[in-house]
Amino acid sequence: MDGFSYSNIFETKGIEYLAILAFFAALIPFWIILNRKVKTKKRVQQLMGTLSPAALRIPQGLFFSRNHTWTHLEKSGIAKVGLDDLLLKITGEVKVINYAQPGDSIKKGDLLAEIDQNGKHLQIFSPISGEVQNANSLLRDEPEALNEDPFRKGWIYQIKPADWKNETKSYYLAQEANGWMSKELVRFKDFVMASSAKNSMGTAGVILQDGGELRENAMSEFPNELWQDFQKDFLNNTD
């Protein structure tokens, strides 16, 4: 066949093709690893912010009351009082409005303070009786300490207890507290579903992750009506 010549591309371009094939051979496992990392990262992001018993900070040695305050008797005989991690993870970032003042005599169940989130409030009641010694002034300048470090920097009051032994005997301590907190998460999920239905709001779908897991800071999505329900039906209902 005159005017026609045949060239073997694998002879003329062999090195280039081999290089390309080698590149893709190296790229495929890299792509698999990268894709796996992306999927893992996505899964981690999905899990972040999920409210579960494992996510709760429950220090040993503290007494937890049913209205989600804690108290701890120090060597000085003065008890610190604060909010537990479940309540703070449910509400998200809040500020404390103090009502009790140093020198005040209070009884267990008296109003101590309110927590505020953009005009939505919850009342906080004292877990013990006694004389108020101090309010935590740090929370005025660093309100984030309440959420970030609720058991050391973020305590709310120091109180000299009047009847420590009798008033704390029904509270949860150590492993008992762990079990109770797990049950409270279930109770909170039930509250969300019931209150959303009662108020004809789609709140439950907003604060529940895929699979029905609770989101942290769930109540930041609540309107004021559901905060009021939470106070009455969950926080104050300690039966």
CB neighbourhood size of 52 (10 A): 13
Is the domain covering 60-173 a CATH 1.10.10.350 domain? no
Beta strands 79-83 and 95-98: pairing type?
unpaired
Q: What was the pLDDT predicted at 44? A: 34
Beta bridge partner(s), residue 50: 215
What residue segments make up the domains of the chain, in order of their start? Answer: 10-48, 60-173
This model's pTM is above 0.85: no
Please give the distance of CA 10 from its chain centroid, rounded to a whole number: 63
Q: What was the pLDDT predicted at 222? A: 86
Q: Which residues of 64-78 are buried (b: 16+ CB within 10 A; e: fewer)?
A: bbbbbbbbbbeeeeb
- Residue tagged 């929370």 (tokens): 139
Q: What are phi and psi of 8, to 5 degrees?
A: -85, 110
Asked if 176 and 63 count as a contact pair (C-beta separation under 8 A), the reply is: no
Q: What is the pLDDT along the chain (239 residues), one digit of tens a residue?
A: 444 344 454 455 556 656 666 665 665 655 455 455 434 333 333 334 678 888 899 999 999 999 999 999 999 999 999 999 999 999 999 999 999 999 999 999 999 999 999 999 999 999 999 999 999 999 999 999 999 999 999 999 999 999 999 999 999 998 999 999 999 999 998 898 888 777 665 555 555 555 567 788 888 888 898 999 999 999 997 65
Taken in order 165, 98, 102, 145, is the CA torsion positive or negative? positive
